[in-house]
Amino acid sequence: MTEKIICPYCEKALTEKYYCISCQKDFGVAARHSEEGTLPDYQIAQQDYIDNACFHFLKEFVPISHWDIAQISIIRDALISVLIKFHNKKEYDLYPWLLEPEDIVST
């Protein structure tokens, strides 16, 4: 068993330099931020973009509604599901998460 970070797109283990060979993508910036427990600014901005879009959508129907993450997260989950299922988007691009090492069985 070794601890490795998994590619957020294809779920294969990244190299020591946080590179996914299958996707040919470098996750170095995100992985190093994850070690500090934070996302890079551009990923925080992406999360804010989605949450704000959900809040504006809610306000279309309830103009007096206030920012409530419980309500926003329900809309967000539905929106993300639609974007993935019907529009071929990647969850990690829409709403990125921390890349934390996981125990994987080495082969």
Interface residues with Zn ion (CB under 5 A)?
7, 9-10, 20, 22-23
SS (H, E, C) 62-83: CCCCCCCHHHHHHHHHHHHHHH
User: Left (φ > 0), alpha (ψ -120 to 50) or beta: where does 11 sit?
Assistant: left
Name the closest residue to Zn ion (Cβ): 7
Tokens matching residue 29: 């910036």
Of the two residues 9 and 57, which places its CB atom closer to Zn ion in the complex? 9
Residues with Cβ within 8 Å of residue 6, at least 6 apart in sequence: 12, 13, 14, 99, 102, 104
Of the two residues 7 and 50, which places its CB atom closer to Zn ion in the complex? 7
Closest approach, Cβ 12 to Zn ion, in A, equals 5
Closest approach, Cβ 22 to Zn ion, in A, equals 5
Closest approach, Cβ 14 to Zn ion, in A, equals 8
Of the two residues 19 and 57, which places its CB atom closer to Zn ion in the complex? 19
